[in-house]
Amino acid sequence: MSQGVRMRPEGSGQALSEAYDTALLDLDGVVYAGGHAIVHAVESLAVARAGGMHLAYVTNNALRTPDAVAVHLTELGIPTGADDVITSAQAVARLISEQVPAGARVLVIGGEGLRVALRERGLEPVESADDDPAAVVQGYGGPELPWGRFAEASYAVARGVPWFASNTDLTIPSGRGIAPGNGAAVEVVRIATGAEPQVAGKPLPPMHRETILRTGAERPLVVGDRLDTDIEGAFNGDVDSLLVLTGVTDGALLLAAPPQHRPTYVDADLRGLLTGQPEVVAGGGGFRCGGWTATAGAERLELDGDGAGLDGLRALCAAAWTAAGEGVCELEAGKALARLGL
């Protein structure tokens, strides 16, 4: 298990798809970006599934329904059923259902994924603050969500109606780059009202609870690209994690990660599920992995060696995280990272 102050990435003598029974995979930035499959994702997931690993797709994006996500993944060549998809809409709907009467009205600021999840819990989605809602729920509604929806939420929240958010990711990856996420929209309502929502999505416990309830995972591995949602969510759930470098996290962000953002394993992409992970070994005042040795100097991280760039990044993480302890590494890392070509 991953809880604690991590000083280096861990190794695994087994392929991760054999060491863990269930992969809890983020979608945006891990499996696809801008609707298109990320390189190596389809083939890697097929091999992991054929070897007996259960694949579950866990997303903070509350816009689409599990059915729609499953259809999209299947079209990409990843056979998926709706039961294999867990969304923050489902997590927030369960959270709301535990605090309002059965059949209560809920003002929805977001997309169809929220409405379907609320109905699954026996709640009635409504569109106006004047519909006497028992709660307000806000989730990602896509780039075309009208500005007036934020005003509708603000009217209800200002009257004291309980406010819930599916997630607070400030950004979301798209085919054209990084776009504002639901967290940015939540900030609009927070500024207008001064209120704070209850949040269900990663990295918070309601999302982890929803995932375990729906998958029955006993030895789960969280797989994600974001430190502040995927990896922190694994930390909060006390489970192991694999960070893939196909999304928003780069080497510099990884080296500066505080303990709750440090993944158990690091790999370039989803091929990392199919292999073991090399050990990072301490010695001689530094850390070795593969053909690389990394040390923390007085002002900067230093790297020597050659071979696979990821081995060097793993060694650098050990040097950076050890130097930082429970804090954030402030040593300059640019030259060391440039040598790795990552």
Question: How confident is the prediction along the chain (342 residues), in pLDDT tens digits per residue?
Answer: 445 799 999 999 999 999 999 999 999 899 998 889 999 999 999 999 999 999 999 999 999 999 999 999 999 999 999 999 999 999 999 999 999 999 999 999 999 999 999 999 999 999 999 999 999 999 999 999 999 999 999 999 999 999 999 999 998 877 788 889 999 999 999 999 999 999 999 999 999 999 999 999 999 999 999 999 999 999 999 999 999 999 989 999 999 999 999 999 999 999 999 999 999 999 889 999 999 999 999 999 999 999 989 999 999 999 999 999 999 999 999 999 999 987
- The domain spans of the chain are 16-60+203-273, 89-199, 281-336
Taking CA atoms, 108 is separated from 26, 155, 222, 236, 327, in Å, by: 24, 13, 29, 28, 39
Buried b (16+ CB within 10 A) or exposed e, 274-287: beebbebeeeeebb
CA 120 to centroid of chain Cα atoms:
24
Question: In which residue are the tokens 């079209």 written?
Answer: 75
DSSP string for residues in 237-306 = HT-EEEEETTSS--HHHHHT--GGG--SEEESSGGGGGS-B---EEETTEEEETTEEEEE-SSBEEEEE-
Catalytic residues: 26, 28
Quote the tokens at residue 316: 């650098």
- Check for a shared fold between 16-60+203-273 and 89-199: yes
Whether the CB-CB separation of 269 and 41 falls below 8 Å is answered with yes
Cβ count within 10 A of residue 335: 11
C-alpha span between 88 and 197 (Å, rounded): 14
Q: Provide the pLDDT for residue 3.
A: 58
| CATH H-level superfamily of 89-199 | HAD superfamily/HAD-like (3.40.50.1000)
Largest CA distance in the chain: 68
Phi, psi of 111 (to 5 degrees): -110, -165
Phi, psi of 25 (to 5 degrees): -95, 125
C-alpha span between 17 and 274 (Å, rounded): 6
C-alpha span between 16 and 173 (Å, rounded): 26
C-alpha span between 108 and 166 (Å, rounded): 11
Whether the CB-CB separation of 76 and 101 falls below 8 Å is answered with no
Q: Provide the pLDDT for residue 2.
A: 44
Does the domain made of 16-60+203-273 have the CATH classification 3.40.50.1000? yes
E strands, the chain, are 22-25, 32-33, 36-37, 54-59, 85-87, 105-109, 124-126, 135-138, 163-165, 171-174, 177-180, 198-199, 220-224, 240-244, 265-267, 281-283, 286-289, 292-296, 301-305
